[in-house]
Amino acid sequence: MASADRAILDVKRVLVLAPRGFCAGVERAVEAVERALAEYGPPVYVRKHIVHNEHVLRGLEAQGAIFVESEDDVPEGETLVLAAHGVPPEVHTRAAERGLLTIDATCPLVSKVHAEVRRYAAGGSHIVLIGHEGHDEIVGTRAEAPGAVVLVETVEQAQTLELDGSRAVSYVTQTTLAEDETADIIAVLEERFPTIVGPRKADICYATTNRQRAVKDALAHIDRLLVIGSKESSNSNRLVEVARRGGIPAYLIGDEGEIEPAMLADAVTIGVTAGASTPEVLVRRVCDWFRQRGVVEIREFGEVSENVSFAPPNTGRARTLPGAA
């Protein structure tokens, strides 16, 4: 008997957490690429990863999408889709100079943060951006007002942050952060800068919040948590952290092929969830993996329903080559 099969002998049930998987912003971005392929035909170029999930990317490539690092890599006059995480403003300028048909699939909740940064910057404020260095969303948000934005990643950085006291201070956050950790950072900022202002509605998106709360609700009922998602996915990594902070071992897996014996050892009840860029088919495959190894009780856990949807981005703008009338 294989070691994974031996380890699973103790597993009696799998609880599949709800809500999980695709959020409205991811659905909108993926559909934008698929609509562009249907309307204009391949190839359709996509700047960076439309969402952070290899399975989704490979599926779009099979349909004719080509992923590029920069708009400068796209031939003049071709179709370009911008990823859900948002881009710096200069990307739009360069795309227009190249005559690209640009479809902006930035999640509306990310666009909300960009608008907040522009508004705070116009008022002369220092802007504290809470998020993770190097993440695509942070790159785009920071570029909205590079001279005014300072990035804070941790409570420790918030405690030592030095700002010019003659200017107002405001904050915004990445949309895919851990809810509790972000609240701790904001509390420190509010203590150190009593007049600091933030968004009227929290920047962390509804899907990130709902998935983290579903994990917290499940912690008393599970021995392990498997989070299906990409290593690049901020919100998937945060789900792992939420479980571990709650005392439950948790593991990030790309699909069922990454389940290892150590993840299951001595566990009776396994929780399964998925990040906001993970398609439901991968959840079904993980459930089938357990089912094929004799686990009979596989059921939904949680009752939160999501009915959020966003209007699709415009895909009908005419191509304009440089110098054309």
What amino acid positions are annotated as catalytic residues?
A: 137
CA atoms of 79 and 103, how far apart (whole Å): 8
Q: Which residues pair with 44 in a beta bridge?
A: 65
Sign of CA dihedral 178, 182, 184, 185: positive
For 76, the 3-state DSSP assignment is coil
Neighbours of 245 (CB within 10 A): 15
Residue 206, sorted as left (phi over 0), alpha (psi -120 to 50) or beta, turns out to be alpha
Picking from 143, 61, 148, 77, the residue whose alpha carbon sits closest to that of residue 110 is 143
Which residues, including other chains, have CB under 8 Å from residue 143's CB and lie 6 or more apart? 87, 88, 89, 90
Neighbours of 174 (CB within 10 A): 25
CA atoms of 80 and 66, how far apart (whole Å): 9
Picking from 229, 209, 217, the residue whose alpha carbon sits closest to that of residue 278 is 229
Peptide bond into 19 cis (omega under 30): yes
Alpha carbon separation from 144 to 77, 102, 110, 137, 151 (Å, rounded)? 26, 19, 12, 11, 13
